[in-house]
Structure formats: structure tokens, C-alpha cells
Amino acid sequence: MLRPHPARWADSAVRVRRVLTAAVATAAMLVAAGCTPGSSSDDSGSSGTAFEFWSFTGINQKVDVERYKKKHPDAQIKLTEVGSTSETAQALTAALAGGKVPDLVLIQGDDLPKFMQSPENFVDLNTLGADKIKNDYLDWVIKQPTTDDGKIIGIPTDVGGLAVAYRTDLFKAAGLPTDRTQVSDSWKTWDDFLEVGKKYTAATGKKFLDNVPTSVFFQAVNQGATRYYDNSTHKMVYDTNPEVKAAFDLTLKAGEAKIAAKQETFSAAWTAGMAKGDFAVTSAPSWMLNAIKTNAPTTEGKWDIARIPGSAGNWGGSFLAIPQRAKNPQAAWKYITEMQSPAGQLENFLAKGNLPTTPSVYSDPKLLAQTDPFFSNAPIGKIYTESAKAIKPFYIGLNDATIGTELLNTLTSVEQGKVPPTEAWDTALTNVKNALRG
């Protein structure tokens, strides 16, 4: 799942350098601690049931592992949650260079292109049977881990159709409609959304939104037909694409409306603020539902889900890959094929809300009937499958993660009062160029 974590949104290049240093240190510690397939898991690896698994934090991968182990009591899985998505990618990069690798690794979608530059570092999953299951997945998703000559280095885990989670109790107190259809109709456009936010803040004296960089910019920019790269030429167009500039300007406008609590997504303040009702609205791709439940369990029944303003879009998507030097590839592949099969992804959605990348289950009665009592019995099966079906994918390039990080960093700096809004776009472009050169 594309999951931007706090490491992606702090202060520009300084923070990025710190993340890289921390990630390399993390990889070194993993090796030193024996967290490699050549160590603790080797003895039992010959049974075909043991393997080491690196994941990033924040998505509760332990639930999936425990579900698998319940079905396979002989399975021995050593799960290491390395850090944020970017930290995990950097740790993997260091591990690939150093010769010590896990058997299985979860790679976030925006980080995948950098690994696609060296597909020889990974097992071509066609040799294990990926060619027989590739048609199970959304075409535009399975293309991402597929090389020009047909090698497949990853299997998709989920897709993050967009929606908005809102507090019905806080909306009611503000005199706003609480019915999800009425709420959706009240913000068909992003300008409408900002107007609802102004009404809420005027009526309550409280902030409407958690923050604008992620809940506005990252949603709006992911709704475009093109993002940071041209879909045909695959050349970078982040600085000339009017859709990126429009999303950036929209975010500045949202900041000027003073409707945001300025609580960075996934931060401690965000978690505490969610539970306390410091904000009434947050972006909610399908995988975010589990994060809300985990971080604010006392708010059960106070949330509902409405359509995202504007068009459909995607925030999310990850891939399971097997490094070439993995000691236990067969055990890792068995895990992939079971957990990421259509049935496995359906089970994962029913358990955690992660939207499948396997379209054959989109018409499954269990999925379509799925409601969530935490979110006022919202029909999440219908909401998110409709969103997924409407997604118009854009090309994700080698430096997508870097570009997105710097744009978000700059907007966060604006929200924190460190960069004047009038200088934001030029500052963002400078930061991107500096990061790409670095």
C-alpha cells in the first residue's frame, strides 16, 4: 500500500538525509542481529515452511502473518517491521548491496520503480508460477512490477480507493447533515469541500480537517489523469503538469481557509486528536479504516464514510517481492500465492478493509454486503469497489516518491508557518530539483 509515513513529510532535504542514514543503520542492525535468511531461519528452511519477512510499519502485517500461521501451524515466519515505507525501501537497498536479504519483502508502490531498475536483484516470479496467476490482478496494477521483457518481480497486495471519513456526532453539533449521501452531495467539488469546512469551523470554533498536505493535496493530485510523469513519454512533468499545480494551489487555498488542525497524518498529535475530536474529517483510502479503528477505538460508531470530492483516485498499493538471494523462496512464494490470491485478498478485506487488486471478487456477495459498524454501518464493500472501478491509473516513475515527498514537505512547511504561501511553489520546485540531484 502506498502509505506515506511521517518520514515522508518532515522538513525537506535534511529530513530525507536523516531517513537515509537511519535506514542504512536499520539494515546494518538487522544483519548484525541475525535478521537474515542465512541465519536463524536457515536450519528449518529446508522444510519449505520457514522464511523471513520484512514489512513496513503502520499496516499491521502481523494480522496477516498470524492468519497464515493459524492455517499452517508448521509455518515459521520471522516478521520484521523495519520502519516507514521509505525506511524499509532504504534498508532493502542496503541489504541488496550487502548480500544479506530477507526471503520476502513488502515494497510500497511509489518505491517500486527504483527496484525495477535492477530486476536481477529479485526472483522472476514467473519461474515460480506468476505467469499462471497474473491475470487475477487489475491490469494496470500488475503492469507495475512487470519488466519490459515480461519478468514479474512483485505481486500486488491491495489498492487504496479514495473516500472521506467524517464524524457524524461533530457534524450534527455543527448543524451539518450527517447522512452519508447528503454529505457526499454537499462536497461534489473540492471548493464545495472547503465551504463545508468553513461552515463547520464557524459553527463550532473547531477545526474541520486534520491537515491539508495529505487530506487535500495527496488526494487531489492522485485524482489526475497524469501525475509527476507523462504517461506516454515517461518523462518528468511535475513542474509543468497543470493537474499537479492545481492540486498544489488547492492545498494553499485550503490552508488559507484556516479549517485544518495542522496535525500531521500518523503523528502522535494526529492519533490523540482523532480520539479527542480535534478534527471532524480525514482522508480515508480503504486501508485507513483499520488505522482509525486502531488509533481511536473509543470513537466507534461516531464515524461514517462519504465520497471523495472530485473524481476517483488511488492512495495505496504495495507489492510482495522475493530477493534473488533469498534462502527460502518456495516458502515465501507459498505465502504470496495463498494470501494474495483472490480468496486471500477477499479475506483480507473482510478482516482489515484492504481493497483487493483482484477484480474477480468485486462482485462477490460477501464483499458487496460488507458493512462496518465502527463507521455507522457504512457499506464499505460498495463504496470502495465503486471507487476502484473508476480509477484512471497514471504512470509512476523512478523518482515519484522523491517528488511527492518534496511537494508534501513544502506544503507541510507552509502549514507550519515556515514557508510563505506566495513562495511555496517555487520553493517546492527548488526542493525537488535539489533532492533529485542529491
Place of cell 497514471: 394
Instruction: Give me the pLDDT at residue 100, please.
Output: 85
Please state at what angle helix 242-256 crosses helix 190-204, rounded to 10 degrees. Answer: 10
The β-bridge partners of 155 are 320
Digit-coded pLDDT (tens) for 193-226 = 999 999 999 999 999 999 999 999 999 999 989 9
Beta-carbon neighbour count of residue 45 at 10 Å? Answer: 22
Instruction: Give me the pLDDT at residue 160, please.
Output: 85
**Ranges 37-51, 87-101, 114-128: which has the least confidence:** 37-51
Strands 281-283 and 155-156: unpaired
The one-letter code for the residue type at 43 is D
**Ranges 86-90, 128-132, 370-374: which has the least confidence:** 86-90
Instruction: Give me the pLDDT at residue 177, please.
Output: 98
Q: Is 260 helix (H, G, I), strand (E, B) or coil?
A: strand
Task: Give pairs for 230-234: CB < 8 Å, separation 24+.
Answer: 230/395, 231/394, 231/395, 234/395, 234/397
Beta-carbon neighbour count of residue 69 at 10 Å? Answer: 14
Residue 59's pLDDT band, with cuts at 50, 70 and 90, is confident
Beta-carbon neighbour count of residue 21 at 10 Å? Answer: 11
Please state at what angle helix 424-437 crosses helix 400-415, rounded to 10 degrees. Answer: 140
Once rounded to an integer, what is the mean pLDDT over residues 411-438? 96
The β-bridge partners of 306 are 164
**Ranges 242-251, 276-285, 380-389: which has the least confidence:** 380-389
Q: What share of the chain is helix, strand, coil (3-state, %, to 5)?
A: 50, 10, 35
Instruction: Give me the pLDDT at residue 123, please.
Output: 98
Provide the grid cell at 394: 497514471
Beta-carbon neighbour count of residue 24 at 10 Å? Answer: 18
Instruction: Give me the pLDDT at residue 58, please.
Output: 76
Once rounded to an integer, what is the mean pLDDT over residues 370-389? 93
Digit-coded pLDDT (tens) for 167-199 = 999 999 999 999 999 999 999 999 999 999 999
Give yes or no for residue 276 having a pLDDT over 60: yes
Give yes or no for residue 43 having a pLDDT over 70: no
Instruction: Give me the pLDDT at residue 6, please.
Output: 33
Digit-coded pLDDT (tens) for 6-26 = 333 333 333 333 344 444 444
CB 316 within 8 A of CB 158: yes
Instruction: Give me the pLDDT at residue 2, please.
Output: 40
Q: How far apart are CA 212 and CA 255, in angstroms?
A: 6
Instruction: Give me the pLDDT at residue 14, please.
Output: 33
Digit-coded pLDDT (tens) for 252-273 = 999 999 999 999 998 999 999 9
Give yes or no for residue 35 having a pLDDT over 60: no
Instruction: Indicate the average pLDDT of the chain.
Output: 89
Provide the grid cell at 244: 499537479
Instruction: Give me the pLDDT at residue 373, please.
Output: 96
Instruction: Give me the pLDDT at residue 352, please.
Output: 83
Q: Model's pTM, two decimal places?
A: 0.84
Residues 6+ apart with CB under 8 A from 364: 346
Digit-coded pLDDT (tens) for 284-308 = 998 899 889 989 999 999 999 999 9
Query: Which residue ranges form the domains of the chain, and what is each CATH number?
Result: 6-159+316-356 (3.40.190.10), 164-311+393-437 (3.40.190.10)
Give, as one character, the DSSP assignment of residue 394: -
